[in-house]
Amino acid sequence: MIHLSNITKQHGSQVLFRDASFQILPGTRSGLVGPNGAGKTSLFRIITGEEEIDAGDITVAKKTTIGYFSQNIGEMSGRSALEEVMAVSAETVRLAGELKQMEEQMGLPMSDDDMAALLERYGSAMEEFEHRGGYDLDSRAKEVLTGLGIGPDRFNNPVESFSGGWRMRVALAGILTLSPDVLLLDEPTNHLDVESIIWLEEWIASEYKGALLMTSHDRDFMNRVVNRIVEVANKTVTTYGGNYDFYERERDIRREQLLASHKRQQEMLAKEEEFIARFAARASHAAQVQSRVKKIEKIERIEIPPEERVVKFEFATPPRSGDDVVAMDNLGKSWLNPDGSVHPIFSGVTGVIKRLSKIAVVGVNGAGKSTFLKTIAGQTDATEGSVSLGANVELGYFSQHAMEILDPKKTIFETVQDVIPLATIGVIRNLLGAFLFQGDDVDKRIENLSGGEKSRVVLATLLARPVNFLVLDEPTNHLDIRSREILLDALENFQGTVILVSHDRHFLRKLVDRVIEVDHGEMRLYEGNYDYYLSKTAHA
């Protein structure tokens, strides 16, 4: 379908690819991985024709439709959610109108030659219309919107009335409804809850017949969906057969083999260079010396790609809290609607959060998970009952809002230094290194950081404090897989209590030992890990 052969692409002085090749074949399910800045987005844009290559060839099979979902969805206005989704399939809608027009023309008198030409055009248009799934376009759009959490009661809502995260779902629904031959998805799970992620997994597995190339920071999603990994790194593209877990194991094996080959080559070169140096001045060995000089000049040197340095930071043991960290008695929260009516979020929650617990709060979008965390953290007042922190509890709260209150003019280093002013430069640099800020990175201003980088700064400041109770609302949002693993490692070793909301199932599976489910205003406690919760609720 799509073949990229020996492509070279450069941005300024940065070489992204040099003589890189890979293929997108019919029905393949590929995950695109690589460090930030390696060229994943550029690869998407090259495939769609938005960027040109400097050298090499790109071949796209005739009549191949390509659908590209990116995080930059542009402006949306003037349509309902359903109309916005249908608009992505504008060519299919145009073909439907053209077919109708030709059908009307067939009822008019015309010559045999004109009728033959009309029928030929009609046949070509009908073939294309059927290939694009034109007959079930409307029902498909409604099914996809519903699967992504936008039900029939909101199909006709103006797209402007949706928040940014929900508009992303509308944009994703448009691309999925298009059902193209090649589907390019850049972080499709970023704004989805677990239910929508599971629906998308099932849709790709059962409904979508084309080829898929996607990036995702959700390890579970990647493992369940793809059967091939395309790695963009070190100026080339490397393909691995298997899911993300297989890729990680195979990548490490290949690196070990490369290191061994490099070591053998270096030993051989050292011997040859020693011989040349020893006998270079002797006329009797001149022919042998020249022969060996030519030999080592022809050898293609094995290059070892730079290894991502991982800094381990030992977080200070926080002060010990009392055994009862949070006590809730008939706790409830309601919002007042604009018309004065009361909208209950949750009610009747009674219980105790014990020291060293690691608890996940789960439930569908809008169930009240974030509000529950805010109530516990004292960010909003309860409307009924009470919540109180136990003895010596020092609380740290993370939310997406925390990124907005960072001082944009300060550097990363200054931001962390403000939190731990007595710490040495070395301690601060080591802490920032653990969160992937190394070298000159620490001098970047907050205003120039991406969402993921800001998240890491906030998390670094949070874990630098002597807190013993962490309340975390979507700490994994915007973080790539490596950053999530670093945070996971930090929280697994955290000698305190954690309660969090996250849509990353791998993260929850590895970390939590209890689950609180929020469902229609009620809360249920599951005294077991995330897998135990799934088994009890049949979500597995």
DSSP states of 86-128 as a string?
HHTTHHHHHHHHHHHHHHHHTTS---HHHHHHHHHHHHHHHHH
Going by pLDDT thresholds of 50, 70 and 90, the confidence category of residue 20 is very high
What's the confidence (pLDDT) of residue 309? 60
| Distance in angstroms (rounded) separating the CA atoms of residues 465 and 417 | 11
Strand bridging mode 14-24 / 182-186: unpaired
> Among 33-37, 147-151, 191-195, which is the least confidently predicted range?
33-37
What's the confidence (pLDDT) of residue 310? 61
What's the confidence (pLDDT) of residue 98? 83
First to last CA, the chain: 35
What's the confidence (pLDDT) of residue 75? 80
* Contacts for 512-516: CB closer than 8 Å, 24+ residues apart: 512/358, 512/359, 512/360, 513/357, 513/358, 513/359, 514/357, 514/358, 514/359, 514/360, 515/359, 515/360, 515/361, 515/362, 516/359, 516/360, 516/361, 516/362, 516/372
What's the confidence (pLDDT) of residue 244? 95
Q: List, for residues 264-319, the tens digit of each pLDDT value.
A: 999 999 998 888 888 887 877 888 888 988 888 889 888 877 666 665 667 778 99
Q: Which residue has the tokens 């191949």?
A: 64
Whether pLDDT at 152 is above 50: yes
What's the confidence (pLDDT) of residue 452? 82
Looking at per-residue pLDDT, the higher value among 311 and 15 belongs to 15
| Distance in angstroms (rounded) separating the CA atoms of residues 214 and 29 | 8
Query: What is the DSSP code (8-state) at residue 166?
Result: H
| Distance in angstroms (rounded) separating the CA atoms of residues 534 and 209 | 29
Q: What are phi and psi of 421, to 5 degrees?
A: -65, -20
What's the confidence (pLDDT) of residue 539? 52
Residues 6+ apart with CB under 8 A from 271: none
Report, as an integer, the average pLDDT of 206-212. 93
What's the confidence (pLDDT) of residue 308? 63
Whether pLDDT at 108 is above 80: yes
Q: What is the mean pLDDT of the chain?
A: 89
Q: List, for residues 486-523, the tens digit of each pLDDT value.
A: 889 989 999 999 999 999 999 999 999 999 998 877 88
Looking at per-residue pLDDT, the higher value among 532 and 191 belongs to 532
Model confidence, pTM: 0.79
Going by pLDDT thresholds of 50, 70 and 90, the confidence category of residue 97 is confident
Whether pLDDT at 540 is above 60: no
Contact 520, 364 (CB under 8 A): no
Q: List, for residues 225-273, the tens digit of each pLDDT value.
A: 999 999 998 888 999 999 999 999 999 999 899 999 999 999 999 998 8
Q: Which residue has the tokens 């299919």?
A: 92
| Tally of CB atoms within 10 A around 506 | 22
What's the confidence (pLDDT) of residue 193? 86
| Distance in angstroms (rounded) separating the CA atoms of residues 78 and 227 | 40
Report, as an integer, the average pLDDT of 379-384. 93
C-alpha distances (whole Å) from 127 to each of 95, 296, 451 are: 10, 60, 44
Q: List, for residues 444-471, the tens digit of each pLDDT value.
A: 999 988 888 898 899 999 888 889 999 9
Q: Which one-letter amino acid corresponds to residue 341?
A: S
CA-based torsion, 255, 256, 257, 260: positive or negative: positive
What's the confidence (pLDDT) of residue 265? 93
| Distance in angstroms (rounded) separating the CA atoms of residues 390 and 353 | 9
Report, as an integer, the average pLDDT of 24-37. 90
Query: What is the DSSP code (8-state) at residue 520?
Result: T
| Distance in angstroms (rounded) separating the CA atoms of residues 515 and 530 | 7
Looking at per-residue pLDDT, the higher value among 46 and 125 belongs to 46
What's the confidence (pLDDT) of residue 403? 80
Going by pLDDT thresholds of 50, 70 and 90, the confidence category of residue 395 is very high
Q: Which residue has the tokens 């941005």?
A: 11
Whether pLDDT at 360 is above 90: yes
